[in-house]
Structure 1
């Protein structure tokens, strides 16, 4: 399914755009140790849910869903959405490296939410290295999917961890974006 970046956007919570406004967010944003595990715990928001992925593509609904989750502070959930695509992407392909970079970026968001600066920086640097490697060859479709170049995304992610944002939300499970950028905006 091709996602139109111009016609399927809607503002969600916090004034951030939605790529899939008809798809409901999970009832909580998982942070390890702060609520039921989404998949393993019967009280988890994704317990018993079986995903069926047909192909790994930047035009897929699942890729856009990962962007929505990421942009709205559901980092663990974005990681899971993109990991499903990563698992079926061709080994050694730029798409697989790109998805791995986004997965690590999501892990960075989880570590920031946990208040763990050193692991957050480690994930951000690993994500940055993968994303910067993609700037050496023409990958305009990756920049279009991100709304920025992979190199710029790497820089923004690393600078976010260096500053280590103050968290505002104290309610367990409440999503909270920790990055000041939005993925997928042209």
Structure 2
């Protein structure tokens, strides 16, 4: 599957972090983000940081996507639909890390929690979410659960090399489901 870039001008990190197998990105002096100050972010789907999170996610940098979205999540209004959406994306990223580590039970737990959050959101207007994600929230919830329950990549992957484990991409308007 062709995985388009939303922010092709930004360079991916030197490696995709897997806990215990690579230097911790921010705590270890050899980490790819050591002493890198986070950019100020706005709680919006139209930000470069949201798109950066999608780029990282789509290309198999799940820990890094989690970090990108967590910055927005921290400044989003607690209890808001955006806060819930971001929490779901963070959990889905965590599931990606667990898949890459070969940890099926935690991956299924994270993906299930993410799907539950996505399914809560149709109660509010969510056209902007569908547009930003390239699919409806219901479709994303279904794909999250299906991908983890039958994931072909439930095995140890090459440390440091990004490896997409989901069969869908976020943020591509060509994939917008009705």
- Please give the TM-score of this superposition, normalised by the length of structure 1: 0.89
* Stretches of 4+ aligned residues off by more than 6 angstroms: none
Aligned residues: 173
Within 1, Cα distance between the matches of 2:89 and 2:22?
Answer: 24
Cα 1:134–1:27, aligned 2, differ >3 Å: closer, same or farther?
Answer: same
Residue of 133, 140, 160 corresponding to 1:146: 133
- Unaligned residue ranges in structure 2 (runs of 5+): 174-178
- Please give the TM-score of this superposition, normalised by the length of structure 2: 0.93
CA deviation string 1:87-143 (max 9, x = no partner): 000111100000000000000100000000100000001100110001122210000
| Residue in 1 that maps onto 2:152 | 165
Alignment of 1:1-186 (within 5 A): 15-166=2-153, 170-186=157-173
Moved more, 52-61 or 70-79: 52-61
Q: What is the root-mean-square deviation of aligned Cα atoms in Å?
A: 1.4
Deviation at 1:55, TM superposition (A): 1.2
Cα 1:164–1:137, aligned 2, differ >3 Å: closer, same or farther?
Answer: same
Moved more, 136-145 or 63-72: 136-145
- Unaligned residue ranges in structure 1 (runs of 5+): 1-13
Question: Does the CA contact (< 8 Å) of 1:76 and 1:110 recur in 2?
Answer: yes
